[in-house]
Every structure is written in structure tokens, then in C-alpha cells.
Amino acid sequence: MTDALYLYAQSVPASDLAELTALLSEIDFIGSNQLAAPFLPGAELMEYITFLGCSPALQRGEIKSDIRIHEFQQPTALGGESIHTLRFPGCKHVIEQPGEIVQHFNQPWQCPVCGHTGRFEDIQWRKSAAISTLFIEISEIFPKEAVPSDKLLELLQKHSGSSWGWFYARSSAPNH
Ligand SMILES: [Zn+2]
């Protein structure tokens, strides 16, 4: 199981996958001349992602990252596992299977304990899931180990016309 940091456009972005890939390559966030994901990190990745604490791999200069861009025709929810306890809004009953709600994000959920219902957006996901059409996934990053820098968030906003948020979830990488 590998964890990842996901960045996502918070409203419909003006950039598509190709334009975003070109931007990330231009700023050396990903290495240049790569045609398909997973992308290798570029020389400037550390300028855009701020690592917190003292990861041993980081100290040895052995950070091995994969970068993937996910683009969807329709708004899609990713994420679902959290290091925090997630609770239904209102009743505060614990959400035992947040992944199920993410998978069926366009349907109302129902609390199995008290039966009240609501929408995906009503839940305080505590940076563990989000809905978007455009995501950038950076693995391996453990929850709260790293955050995007203001510089990166500003660049993405300028490029896409949307503000960007982030969350931590299981990596989509198949071979970990
Ligand atoms: Zn409840």
C-alpha cells in the first residue's frame, strides 16, 4: 500500500491533461520529454512540494516519486481512506466505509446507525477525498508528510483559472 498526495482543480479547469503536462514539464516539476504517465520527477520538484519533518529517504536524497495526472470527462471522486476518523455530519456517527461513499459519490449516503442522509459534499473529509475532473497524483507521499507550496498552487491557478486543493489517499499505482 502506497500513499500519495493528490492535487485537484476545485472548479472546472481551463487546462486539459496535455496542457497541464506541458506546464509541469516546463517548470521541471516532471522531467522533460516524457510522453506518458507515470512521470518521473523533474529537478525542481522540491521547489513545489514542501516536505515536512525528516523523512530518512529525503535526507539521503533518495526520494523516488511517480507523478500521474488523472483527467475525467465528468466530475469524479477520488480518495476515501483517511488517517482521521470521519463522521457523518449532524449525527456524528463514525463513517466505517468512506471508500463506499467515494465510489458512489453522486448518490446520497445514508448513516447506517440513525438513517439520516446527505450528499458527498456535506461530509468533512479532512483532506482525504475530493471531486474534480483533473487531479495530479504524487506518490509516494504519506499523509501530511508533504504539502504543495504556495508557488505551485499559484502557478496551477494561473494556468487553469481554477483554485486547487489537495488531499492524501492511496496511490493508484498498480505495482506497490
Ligand atoms: Zn447517524
What residue segments make up the domains of the chain, in order of their start? Answer: 1-30+37-79+131-176, 85-125
What pLDDT sits at residue 175? 60
Distance 121 CA to ligand 1 centre (A): 16
Distance 89 CA to ligand 1 centre (A): 8
Q: Cα separation of 100 and 110, whole Å?
A: 11
Distance 131 CA to ligand 1 centre (A): 23
**Whether 79 contacts 130, CB under 8 Å:** yes
Distance 124 CA to ligand 1 centre (A): 14
What pLDDT sits at residue 64? 73
Residues with CB under 5 A from ligand 1 (ion): 88, 91, 93, 111, 113-114
pLDDT in tens, 34-84: 777 789 989 899 899 998 876 655 555 566 788 999 999 999 999 998 999
The three cell numbers locating residue 13: 479547469
Distance 3 CA to ligand 1 centre (A): 29
Q: Which residues of the chain have pLDDT under 50?
A: 176
What pLDDT sits at residue 56? 57
Residue at grid coordinates 503536462: 21
**Whether 137 contacts 71, CB under 8 Å:** no
CA angle, residues 101, 102, 108, in degrees to nearest 5: 45
